[in-house]
Chain A
Amino acid sequence: MSARLQVRNLRVAYDRNLAVSIEHLTVEPGTLAAVIGANGAGKSTLINAIANWSRAAPRLSGEILIDDRAVAGKPADLLARRGVVLVPEGRGVFMGLTVEENLRAGLSAVNAGGKTYSLADIYTLFPRLRERGTTPGGSLSGGERQMLAIGRALRMAPRLLLLDEPSIGLAPRLVSLLLETIRALVDGGLTVFLVEQNVHAAMAVADSLYLLERGRVVASGSVAAMRDDPRIIEAYLGARDG
């Protein structure tokens, strides 16, 4: 089977500053790949580049393939409709729309390529959201907002779900709950590319791992193999901030 996502020679620059330079990166279908790295390592820049989306105006070059089809340069809204769905860092839902409106607002093509999640599916997955159906996004708690962001992304039948630090700002117990939910979705067939600062939590759920430093992949492999990698041990034993 071919890879769901392949990245080759990707370079992303803000003005003249190269923020990401990646030779090679792959995500297999039905797996969860996690990217870890310190603040400013380029994790968000990378995941945004895959969705061809940014709040700034970075310059991209290189190849991005989704199911062997080149997608680099395609507009972000088209990619989203075709199932490359990003939940960005920070503000990821509309504050002025209610929970249900947020869940209904997404537009996806019939050939988006992933499993279609109904509104009921989302409410089963995140029962909290059902109770808050008519609440505006702006009145949700941080955790509820993340659930909503993931929920609305699932509604778009993602063939590749890109999650940028979904656990940021959540209580430790909620972090593992959220990541376990994501893991369960992957076990159900979803493909996820996840950015996570919490190395420990990422290792608990991911299949493969990429360690990013100053925009470059310095270590990668299956979680099992990476567990013994000295750079990982060094990173998350706290020699550097992990």
Chain B
Amino acid sequence: MNVAQQLVNGIIIGHAYALVAVGWTLLLGAARLVNFGHGQIYMVSAFIAWWVMSTTGLPYALAVPLAILASAALGAIMQRLFLRLTLSQDLVNLMIATLGFGQILEGAAGLAFGPKPETFTSPLQAIIFTLGPVWFTAQDTLTVGATILVFLGLYLVLDRTRFGAAVRMVAEDPPLVALYGIQISHVYISIFAFEGAAVAFAAVLIAPRTPILTSMGFEQVVMTFVVVVLGGIGSVGGSYIAGLLLGLFTTFFSALVSPAYTTASIFALLIAFMVLRPGKLAASGNFAR
């Protein structure tokens, strides 16, 4: 085994995990909301970018922002639909509703794009850097760099801006927010738009690694969930580190043990964490409201 190469792969995959999860970090940590349609937005974003490139011939660099805009709109629409459930903090129904929304996206994408796997490629994948025993592509470099920037940006926005303060206010005490003159529905809709945009950004960077399928959304949520929980719910820095460690873990697990059972091993990791630090997920924790 080429340990150095696996290490590089792990770092790249880890950044990919973190980037896919960043929208959820904000969603769950700041607004106590979940989105089971997360994986389907990932899928739809990849297909939008692929479709734009293959039908209009636009370059990758233009397809990316289009997909991000479309998915941000999707996130905003989703939250606009669910606003009543969100405002009444009906979290149970909200959760099922996002699952239903994911189902809508999957059905619509199936109708539009069919069941065949498609190849969605980025020109940067062809550019390969070799450093001694290890190699990686320009796309990998972009993924790692973009992830670091997104996390840094999110941290600064949350910590330094008025909008960030509004998000923290919504997380702490939703009714009180209104007395500060802030329309809470705008904050919720913006958070969901960010969630859509962030997962779309992740999709356009990461999906080119494998053929894309309209059924690929189902499993995405699990990895995201594990990243967010292991990172300490709502902690931006924590999610980044959790994603990175998880990437290293899965890379070495599939190299040393079995690639087929990676998801199962992640789940085992999650359970171990829950047993060791039950407070994080228990009813008494901040997790359940």
- Interface size class on chain A is 20 to 34
B177 contacts across to A, CB distance below 8 A: 77
Please tell me if the beta carbons of A77 and B181 are within 8 angstroms of each other in the complex.
yes
Interface of chain B residues 160 through 187 with chain A (CB within 8 A): 162, 165-166, 168-169, 171-173, 175-184
B residues less than 8 Å from A126 (CB atoms): none
Q: Are B172 and A152 in contact (CB under 8 A)?
A: no
Q: What are the residues of chain B within 8 A of A105 when measuring CB–CB?
A: 162, 165-166, 169, 180, 182
B179, A81: Cβ atoms under 8 Å?
A: no
Known contacts A105-B162, A105-B169; A51/B175 CB under 8 A: no
Q: How far is the CA of A19 from the CA of B214 in the complex (A)?
A: 55
A226 at the interface (CB under 8 A from B): no
Separation of A96 and B165 alpha carbons in the complex (Å): 9
The interface-forming segment of A85-93, A174-182, A185-193, A213-221 is A85-93
Alpha-carbon distance A11/B12, docked complex (angstroms): 62
Q: Is the CB of A97 within 8 A of B165?
A: yes
Q: Tell me the number of A-to-B contacts counted with CB atoms below 8 Å.
A: 65
What secondary structure prevails in chain A residues at the interface with B? loop
Q: Residue A108 contacts which of B172, B173, B181 (CB distance < 8 angstroms)?
A: B181
Q: Bound complex: CA of A104 vs CA of B166, how far in Å?
A: 11
Task: Kindly report which residue of chain A lies nearest to residue B182, judged by CB atoms.
Answer: A107
- A101 and chain B: residue at smallest CB distance: B165
- Which residues of B approach A to under 8 Å, CB–CB? 162, 165-166, 168-169, 171-173, 175-184
Closest 8 A/B residue pairs (Cβ): A107-B181, A80-B181, A76-B178, A81-B181, A77-B178, A106-B180, A77-B183, A96-B172
**What are 24 sample pairs from A and B whose C-beta atoms fall under 8 A apart?**
A51-B179, A53-B179, A54-B175, A75-B183, A76-B179, A77-B177, A77-B180, A77-B181, A77-B184, A80-B180, A81-B181, A92-B179, A94-B173, A96-B169, A96-B171, A96-B172, A97-B169, A104-B165, A105-B162, A105-B166, A105-B169, A106-B180, A107-B182, A108-B181
